[in-house]
Amino acid sequence: MRFDTTLPIYLQLNLLVENNILQGQWKEEDRIPSIRDFAEACEVNPNTILRSYNELQDRGIIYNKRGVGYFVQAGAVDIIKAEKLEKLRDSVFQTFFNDLQHLGITPEMLANYYNEFLQRGEI
């Protein structure tokens, strides 16, 4: 697996797990790969996976059944979405809305641009 050098690997693994959950590849209450299996698949040290899993567990996204493995926590999708929205609001949206204001773009204009974007199917 290729990793971005600007972000710690364990955080990139968190994003991978979160994306697997959001895309429905790993559903709530599903068992996820063991630390060893995930480390082999991602070609990283198992300690890096453990760090990622511990952080995800602290955030309530996964949980560990001792002797059984790690599972996706019920409500994980909602937690991930809420966290992503908060990050967007605190960073991207702030800059975006400031730019819109400086450019004189009204909410109606923005709605039209967004609808055009959706109609083009660029998502």
The 10s digit of each residue's pLDDT in 39-85 is 999 999 999 999 999 999 999 999 999 999 999 999 999 999 999 99
> What is 44-67 written as a DSSP string?
S-HHHHHHHHHHHHHTTSEEEETT
**Separation CA 35–CA 25 (nearest Å):** 18
Give which of 84, 112, 98, 88 is closest to 22, Cα–Cα.
84
Alpha carbons 61 and 68: distance in angstroms, whole number: 17
At the second CATH level, the architecture of 9-75 is Orthogonal Bundle (1.10)
Average pLDDT over residues 99-113: 95
Using a cut of 0.75, tell me whether the model's pTM lies above it: yes
**Residue boundaries of the structural domains of the chain:** 9-75, 77-120
Residue type, 62: I
**Coil/strand/helix, residue 14:** helix
pLDDT of residue 91: 87
